[in-house]
Structure 1
């Protein structure tokens, strides 16, 4: 994984010193909260309902064991003993004291971590496929390109005060595990007919108040032009994006109002001035960054194949876990393991300090000292020998980290909602917990199969509800919470925005409504192998609407 160079270390240290002085002046009353707000946001510090919140960057979702141990230390020393992994592959702490934040940032810097550009109208944490570098279906590891984008975008003088926040995602596979079509810029690595590496470029995706899928602006961008083309897009956006209305300030609105062809023409004209200039990436620089992401020494472990089959036959619990948590690796004797942070009845994405410490030990013992954060609020050990899967599972069980529900109905994405967030209009966490408990039976989960439920506590869509197979949006009207349901969303290479099916449901009625949706799906699917999203796309919304709102059917 990437290691800080001298510039990184000096840059982070100087920023901490600067922010420590700003915090001191805020605490003394020398500067007001209004004056302090843009300064704290530049350093990942939010003011939520009950306390400050610190969001820490995890570039492209990659962590080392020592970094996870430091996060455990922060949770235990400065917070309430836990952290919350987010849909941006970051982690946030919900209860730090403002006076402690400079000390937290110094501790983080000691393990090459920071909170810079996790907020504000700038280029946010660049995300990537959580199986990057390990996936069997990968064209190329996307993380070197994500790192190049990180270095280029950090406190970029031209793009630090954009019309609105800006998000970039990169995937190296045809199967999109990075949700690139709901990002401001999405990049998908591919090779042309001559084997040259480049990217398909998408622009203008996003969720929130006006959900839109990104449009393909360039089918093949040679890798050496990555920075110049992305710069061209951002220059057009920076010049023309709206600053008079924050609800219309994202690039998706610019794409929509300008039209893709006209926007492409403007980007191409801007790019013509940049192409083949100083932003062109030399092969040696790409290779130098790529060296940081070389595979560990994956020596042959052929005995794993036989042992895995024996373990699956002999232990039903292990077999269920392996069926959901183990993914194909580019090395035949290894696998990538997804570890669910969605225990039945738990808070999606939360992990306590003891679990972090123990999981860091397991990453060292079984995973070559590397782990990943997913945008679906789970963790991944990307390189695990198949011969080590059973002992790893045995170690995860007492930690509460062996839930066999990855990709199933209880693997729910949820934002923190009104329990923490000042922008929220509903309490999403209790709804997630109630749904998890309603569908707790392992056999029923397996019968239902792949199903993604995503919950947001407000229109800002931090829970990605627009691209959930079943999406839930918490709204408030006259002091009463209600959950609007959308169906048919997806964030993969067949991305779609979910359709609103009707009036909202009170929080306590949501489990019944979701159960109705699930039962309707089970009655309609064409065989046990047809997933929910496939059935929905085949039959459409009407059968689900009729089941959810029988009074409408009777009236008709």
Structure 2
């Protein structure tokens, strides 16, 4: 298929294509043997997980890898086809589960959808295993697969969605991400780790990749001599024990990054716990061993470099070869004369149309090329779960990507889509097209641009349902004037302690918990993912009291926000953001406001 990868993305060579096609054929054979009874369920389990297939509450769930968040228009169209033709609970075998879900009153439109995750993968929730092989063949046709999306291995490597285009970028992290992706795929040292292992990379001054929350967080930096290298943090993670990664190296020469990761993983493999999966993540080992862990990594790194000759040192030629894939697309690089008429039309439209003006302010960001812009398409709107994209929407996005962004899109960890190559002259026609596709919500980084996992409607691990909570808050806060008055705020919702909705890093975090078989929700305040919206510092939020019943959660959020609006102060020519006010005054005023909601609810009963 032509145009599988855009001109500015990594393009699979013959080896890559054969590898993915053979993996799909191998999985087809494994499914056949399982269906014929030649493979037991226990024997088939690791085989399907290695290809991204889970079994969830009602049906199998497929997780598709999107390395460092990049998607071409051709890949988007295949994802749309999978959603339309294969993600169908009404086909028959899942009808009972679907009816049970509908009786719960879920707001999600469950059929023919893909779901963007917080680690920039794509999931499908209703594909029967009997059709799994056909789906894997379709994915392989556009250089996609489910490798490294499950199991105790190095998972899909995530990245800043503005990599290569952000004005604050020190260096493009994508060549390193791709080199590491290839290196970690089926690496025997990384195949059976004590637990899953996640890496995030950013090359910008602002950490939009939440690197502090990962098992390994990498930030490109310059030393005092101007040499490029990595700041390496290890041991971050969410889940039951939220921890921010510990910096092991303030500066590591870029050529040695894989040697150093190998040292980290070897120490983890040797000393990580395997007797208790809840204590098996590397964050537990780093926290327990402290300086000893760092010393072990440094000694292992020394032996890899000095005794083994640094076998994973990145040669300049390999870096240059990989960097050649990640260049400005030819159709963008070609000179384009400024269009005064387009500028005038855009300015007049902004004056005449407040929604367009808001969209320019919220969804459009500066680009390192002054003639270009970075545009976010928001999937956050009423009656659509955060991160969900219908088959029609995926096809519309593919059309927009071809027309306005050189064939390339990026998935964000906030569950939206970014178009990285939009010419400023095209902003008005792009907005009109996005409005028609219902992807023009002007709410990026506002309250309704929330993160949410699928929760108990789909996930077998969840204690509570995330999506109705998200929908209730979304419905209450639809006035754009009110949302803009509240200002930038990160609201994150998880259905269980595994924190797939990143509740720990939310300025407001909501966690579903089980209390004697009933669904309740803890509220946390003050978390941050490390981006500028949290003053550039990653930290976990703190619980503000006993949990709330489902019908109390939106009122509690409203009370917390009302408290903030009362307490916020001016800061120069602007007003404090929510997170700034929380850090200045502490949690007690917000706790009292939320407690009043609980007390009122108790009085009513």
TM-score, scaled relative to structure 1: 0.97
Structure 2 residue 315 is the aligned partner of structure 1 residue 285: no
2:552 touches 2:597 (CA, 8 Å); kept in 1? no
1:301 touches 1:333 (CA, 8 Å); kept in 2? no
Instruction: Give the match for residue 495 of structure 2.
Output: 457
Structure 2 residue 109 is the aligned partner of structure 1 residue 62: no
Gaps of 5+ in 1: none
- Distance in 1 between the 2:115 and 2:490 partners? 20
Instruction: Give the match for residue 133 of structure 2.
Output: 102
Instruction: Give the match for residue 535 of structure 1.
Output: 581
Shift of 1:136: 0.7
- Distance in 2 between the 1:205 and 1:305 partners? 45
- Distance in 2 between the 1:212 and 1:470 partners? 17
Q: Which of these residues, 393, 403, 406, is aligned with residue 368 of structure 1?
A: 406
Instruction: Give the match for residue 146 of structure 2.
Output: 115
Shift of 1:305: 5.3
Structure 2 residue 164 is the aligned partner of structure 1 residue 133: yes
Q: Deviations over 1:50-82 (max 9, x none)?
A: 110100000000000000001001111111311
Q: Which of these residues, 124, 133, 141, is aligned with residue 93 of structure 1?
A: 124
Instruction: Give the match for residue 495 of structure 1.
Output: 538
Structure 2 residue 226 is the aligned partner of structure 1 residue 195: yes
- Distance in 1 between the 2:552 and 2:428 partners? 40
Shift of 1:467: 0.2
- Distance in 2 between the 1:546 and 1:257 partners? 35
- Distance in 1 between the 2:383 and 2:450 partners? 11
- Distance in 2 between the 1:179 and 1:234 partners? 20
Aligned Cα root-mean-square deviation (Å): 1.5
Gaps of 5+ in 2: 1-8, 89-111, 531-535, 601-605
SS class of match (2:524) = strand
Q: How does 1:40-79 map to 2 (within 5 A)?
A: 40-79=48-87
Single out whichever of 46-55 and 72-81 deviates more from structure 2: 72-81
Q: Which of these residues, 453, 458, 467, is aligned with residue 505 of structure 2?
A: 467
Structure 2 residue 273 is the aligned partner of structure 1 residue 242: yes
Q: Deviations over 1:107-139 (max 9, x none)?
A: 111111111110000000000000111101101
Instruction: Give the match for residue 388 of structure 2.
Output: 350
Instruction: Give the match for residue 95 of structure 2.
Output: none
Q: Which of these residues, 400, 406, 428, is aligned with residue 390 of structure 1?
A: 428
Shift of 1:470: 0.2
Instruction: Give the match for residue 526 of structure 1.
Output: 569
Instruction: Give the match for residue 260 of structure 2.
Output: 229
Give the total of aligned pairs: 553
- Distance in 1 between the 2:130 and 2:402 partners? 33
Instruction: Give the match for residue 330 of structure 1.
Output: 368
Instruction: Give the match for residue 298 of structure 2.
Output: 268
1:345 touches 1:434 (CA, 8 Å); kept in 2? no
Shift of 1:231: 0.6
Single out whichever of 466-475 and 538-547 deviates more from structure 2: 538-547
SS class of match (1:358) = helix
* Distance 1:496-1:7 versus aligned 2 partners, 3 A rule: same
Single out whichever of 475-484 and 55-64 deviates more from structure 2: 475-484
- Distance in 2 between the 1:246 and 1:197 partners? 37
SS class of match (2:150) = coil
Q: Deviations over 1:506-552 (max 9, x none)?
A: 11111100000000011111135311111111111011111112499
TM-score, scaled relative to structure 2: 0.90
2:552 touches 2:598 (CA, 8 Å); kept in 1? no
Q: Deviations over 1:345-385 (max 9, x none)?
A: 42000011111111101111111110000011000001101
SS class of match (2:190) = coil
Shift of 1:7: 2.2
2:272 touches 2:280 (CA, 8 Å); kept in 1? yes
Structure 2 residue 507 is the aligned partner of structure 1 residue 476: no
2:83 touches 2:124 (CA, 8 Å); kept in 1? yes
Instruction: Give the match for residue 430 of structure 1.
Output: 468
1:129 touches 1:177 (CA, 8 Å); kept in 2? yes
Q: Deviations over 1:295-353 (max 9, x none)?
A: 12333453365554333223211001111100110000111001111113420000111
SS class of match (2:538) = coil
